[in-house]
A and B are shown apart, each in its own frame.
Chain A
């Protein structure tokens, strides 16, 4: 048992070592390029400058405010999108004619960047929280919908046989069998969607908002504060990474419970 823990620690220590080295190399190359590259600090701020800019916006509270508005929009847009996409995906996946009717339009709409809708969105909803929320909604709805449909269609037949055998009703079967049986695949769709939704949140805020991490990019540009810009980009990356880790953890737990664990 303690052997196992030691091995796990050793493996994690090695992974942490690689991660630290990876960032160390990035920061060193970057710092050297900024100092000796002969480029104006306004174009390429050094990591040390970005760090002090980060400290500046963190200490006066602006960073926390921007993070709060971004996360609020993300939470609303993403959860509404996932909820609707899962419900529709499960129902459409179960009733094949319904899916065949919807699929051509879905396939046409899916490759369109959510940003393309932006002029309409701003005209319809104005500036504020809504443009970013709607952008996230569009970004997440198609991958989650399609993964739910695929999940329902690949339910092992034996679950359906068992349900018929024990007289599970035509409505109950959705929450007793169909939804849980396709849940692992839905979860991987949600995982996929989360990444692109976070990417499009920043885009949405760059165009249609007066706050948030995306807005901060525009704001920093307008004030020629490239150090804040870089600090903001780092924060966006970090939050995206944390969100991805959380959902990856949740997905892992589900796969384990469903007995679909790889390795």
Chain B
């Protein structure tokens, strides 16, 4: 198995109280799979992502990628964040180039060439010299995607990447990320709290519930590569996942006011 999460627990102390963010999580992911970690806030989906990406290792249990245990982030796996993580003091082009600056085997001119190619891929080559803040949120996230692709990673981690975008832009970027994934066969692990987004994107949806954060069930989405948000199968799967959340509501729903 390509990525393997075994008996992972993660505990924090928060305001003097011990808080279990993840309890006994087990998960196996194959190379080239598109996985969505789905659940309400506090279910540990981002914590799980951070553990697999190596930013924040688990308290107990192991995460292995390609047989090697993950202890710190690797430039072979790139994370895309909700608030983009672009460096405002660099131009769009130089932001994309950051992905390759640590690579000694790539010359400066080759680096610029790769960066330009990836900016073209997301349709932003005209904005190469602009500052990130001159771009809209959706465009900034596309720069972050271009930067991730420039590193030619094996795995792309996405932490609610479209959460701050408006609905239309979000749908456009969902299509973009799907076509990128089918073309390059990257392994993608994608965190979201949006059921429809998960059903639209994933090969498998990992449904998580909070208090303590654990995996409730894993659902295979057999809708094929071209998906229709209005099809009957789509509704049925969305409904099925919704039912899983409703089955047993032994936790308080959080209202953001």
A257 touches B131 (CB 8 A): yes
Q: Number of A interface residues, CB 8 Å?
A: 18
Q: In the complex, A168→B74 CA distance in Å?
A: 11
Q: Are B88 and A167 in contact (CB under 8 A)?
A: no
A1 contacts partner chain B, Cβ-Cβ < 8 Å: no
B133 touches A259 (CB 8 A): yes
Whether the pair B88, A161 counts as a contact (CB closer than 8 A) is no
Contact of B88 among A166, A168, A257 (CB under 8 A): A257
Segment of B14-22, B25-33, B77-85, B247-255 engaged in the interface with chain A: B77-85
Known A257-B131, A259-B132; contact A167-B75, beta-carbon cutoff 8 A? yes
Q: Which of B72, B85, B133 contacts A159 (CB 8 A)?
A: B85
Additional A-B contacts beyond A158-B83, A162-B87, A183-B89 (4; CB < 8 A): A161-B85, A166-B98, A257-B131, A259-B88
Q: Are B99 and A166 in touch, CB under 8 angstroms?
A: yes
Closest to A260 in B: B88
Interface status of A35 (Cβ within 8 A of chain B): no
Across-interface contacts of A176 in B (CB, < 8 A): 98, 101
Once the chains bind, are A164 and B72 in contact (CB under 8 Å)?
yes
CB-CB nearest 10 A-B residue pairs:
A259-B133, A167-B102, A167-B75, A180-B89, A162-B85, A158-B85, A258-B88, A164-B73, A165-B73, A259-B88
CB under 8 Å from chain B, chain A span 157-193:
158-159, 161-162, 164-169, 176-177, 180-181, 183
**How far, in angstroms, from A62 to B152 measured CA to CA in the complex?**
66
Q: A181 to B89: give the CA distance in the assembly, Å.
A: 8
How far apart are B17's CB and chain A's nearest CB, in angstroms?
A: 23
Q: Determine whether the beta carbon of B89 is less than 8 Å from that of A165.
A: no
Query: Are A161 and B87 in contact (CB-based, < 8 A)?
Result: no
Query: Contact between B79 and A177 (Cβ–Cβ < 8 Å)?
Result: no
Q: Is the CB of A166 within 8 A of B102?
A: yes
Give A contacts to B, CB under 8 Å.
Answer: 158-159, 161-162, 164-169, 176-177, 180-181, 183, 257-259
Partner of A166, one of B53, B72, B131, B151: B151
Find chain A residues with CB under 8 A from B83 CB.
158
Q: Closest approach, in angstroms, between the C-beta of A161 and any C-beta of chain B? A: 6
- B55 interface residue, CB < 8 Å from A? yes
Q: Which residues of A contact B102 (CB under 8 A)?
A: 166-169
Which among A159, A165, A181, A183 is the interface contact of B78 at CB below 8 angstroms? A165
A102 to B89, CA, bound (A): 30
Distance A259 CA – B74 CA, assembled complex (angstroms): 29
Which of B81, B101, B133 interacts with A158 by CB under 8 Å?
Answer: B81
Q: Which residue of A lies closest to B87 (CB)?
A: A159
B134 CB to closest chain A CB, in angstroms? Answer: 9
Residues of the B chain whose Cβ atoms lie less than 8 Å from the Cβ of A168:
98, 101-102
Interface residues of B in 57-75 (CB under 8 A from A): 72-75
Residues 171-182 of chain B, each 1 if its beta carbon lies under 8 Å from chain A, else 0:
000000000000
Given A159-B87, A180-B89, A259-B88, does the pair A164, B55 have CB atoms closer than 8 Å?
A: yes
Return the chain A residue nearest B133 by Cβ: A259
21 A-B pairs (CB sep. < 8 Å)? A158-B83, A162-B87, A162-B98, A164-B55, A164-B73, A165-B53, A165-B73, A165-B79, A166-B78, A166-B99, A166-B102, A167-B75, A168-B98, A168-B101, A176-B98, A180-B87, A180-B89, A183-B89, A257-B88, A258-B88, A259-B132
Q: How far is the CA of A168 from the CA of B101 in the complex (A)?
A: 8
Known: A166-B101, A167-B75, A168-B101. A161 touches B89 (CB 8 A): no
* Shortest distance between the CB of B175 and any CB in chain A (Å): 25
